[in-house]
């Protein structure tokens, strides 16, 4: 890549916690960055007109069409040490398994689910709420994008034992049957982020949703509660 050329990149994410990531990328020299946050805007026709050099995907809730990833270099960031943790709800599946740390894997999108070749990995700690973890991951993803671009890293095939995760469903956020106070705390914090259904308990026709939890000791959690009449 010529240093005097203006390279074109896309950041593909619908999440607000990636706003600062985009602003930091947008300020980089000799690079033109565009943020795409709507599925309707992310089309092959649009990409053929723009001709981006790479598409970076820190978070996207939709399948990337084959006619896009086969014609453009699409790099997605997955919150597990691949091939461990292929599949949906990586953060929640990690916390449910009592994981305290993980790695963010930058991989090339291909036809399989999180099966693409790996560019690099970086460590990520899993303490705090889901929102806090996502914000922390954004800073790490910025460094990963910088390294991929400046070093022009080429991806390599995944190695290791394959472990697949199943996407968790909203009803699995019900904490009524949980007995362990730390497990209850983990359920509340792992679902405490923009766009995620909070952990909850149903009492008659009332739904109690929990957020902003802090664990005080082996018997006490303090949290915000929203009560909804169903």
pLDDT of 229 > 70? The answer is yes
- Percent of the chain surpassing pLDDT 90: 93
Q: For residue 129, how far is the Cα from the chain centroid? A: 14
Please tell me whether residues 157 and 120 are part of one structural domain.
yes
Please tell me whether residues 190 and 155 are part of one structural domain.
no
What letter would DSSP give residue 184? H
Number of domains in the chain: 2
- The whole domain housing 116 covers 7-165
Task: Judge whether 65 and 43 are in contact, CB under 8 Å.
Answer: no
Query: For strand 54-59 and strand 101-108, is the pairing parallel, antiparallel, or unpaired?
Result: unpaired
Mean pLDDT of the chain: 95
CATH number of the domain where residue 126 is located: 3.40.50.170
pLDDT of 7 > 50? The answer is yes
Q: What is the pLDDT of residues 138-176, one digit of tens each?
A: 999 999 999 999 999 999 999 999 999 999 999 999 999
Close Cβ partners of 82 (under 8 Å, ≥ 6 residues apart)? 105, 107, 114, 118, 121, 158, 160
Please tell me whether residues 33 and 99 are part of one structural domain.
yes
CA distances 143 to 27, 104, 108, 116, 147, Å, are: 14, 11, 17, 20, 6
pLDDT of 3 > 80? The answer is no
Q: What is the pLDDT of residue 6?
A: 87
pLDDT of 1 > 50? The answer is no
* Among candidate residues 230, 188, 228, the one with its CA nearest the CA of residue 208: 228
Domain annotation covers residue 19: yes
Task: Judge whether 118 and 80 are in contact, CB under 8 Å.
Answer: no
Please tell me whether residues 141 and 175 are part of one structural domain.
no
Domain annotation covers residue 133: yes
User: What's the farthest any 2 CA atoms get from each other in the chain?
Assistant: 66
Q: What is the pLDDT of residue 162?
A: 97
What letter would DSSP give residue 156? B
Query: Please, which pLDDT band fits residue 2 given cuts at 50, 70 and 90?
Result: very low
Q: What is the pLDDT of residues 116-131, one digit of tens each?
A: 999 999 999 999 999 9
Please tell me whether residues 136 and 179 are part of one structural domain.
no
Rounded to an integer, the average pLDDT of 195-219 is 95
Please state, in angstroms and rounded to a whole number, the distance separating the CA atoms of residues 38 and 40.
Answer: 5
pLDDT of 80 > 80? The answer is yes
Close Cβ partners of 100 (under 8 Å, ≥ 6 residues apart)? 125, 126, 127
**Which of these three, 165, 180, 198, is where a domain ends?**
165
The reported pTM is 0.93
pLDDT of 90 > 80? The answer is yes
Please state, in angstroms and rounded to a whole number, the distance separating the CA atoms of residues 25 and 142.
Answer: 7
Query: Please, which pLDDT band fits residue 4 given cuts at 50, 70 and 90?
Result: low
């Amino acid at each position: 890549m010529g240093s005097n050329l203006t390279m074109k990149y896309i950041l593909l994410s619908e999440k607000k916690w990636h706003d600062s990531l985009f602003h930091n990328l947008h300020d980089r020299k000799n690079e033109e960055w565009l943020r795409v946050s709507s599925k309707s805007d992310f089309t092959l026709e649009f990409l053929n007109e723009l001709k981006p050099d790479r598409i970076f995907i820190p978070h996207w809730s939709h399948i990337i069409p084959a006619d896009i990833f086969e014609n453009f270099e699409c790099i997605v960031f997955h919150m597990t040490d691949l091939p461990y943790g292929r599949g949906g709800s990586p953060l929640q599946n990690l916390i449910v398994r009592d994981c305290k740390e993980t790695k963010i894997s930058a991989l090339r999108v291909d036809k399989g689910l999180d099966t693409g070749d790996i560019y690099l990995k970086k460590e990520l700690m899993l303490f705090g709420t889901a929102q806090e973890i996502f914000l922390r991951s954004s800073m790490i993803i910025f460094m990963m994008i910088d390294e991929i671009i400046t070093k022009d890293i080429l991806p390599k095939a995944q190695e290791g034992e394959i472990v697949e995760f199943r996407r968790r469903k909203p009803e699995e956020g019900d904490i009524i049957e949980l007995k362990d106070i730390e497990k209850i705390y983990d359920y509340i914090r792992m679902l405490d982020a923009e766009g995620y259904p909070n952990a909850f308990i149903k009492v008659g026709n009332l739904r109690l949703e929990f957020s902003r939890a802090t664990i005080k000791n082996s018997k006490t959690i303090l949290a915000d509660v929203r009560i909804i009449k169903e």
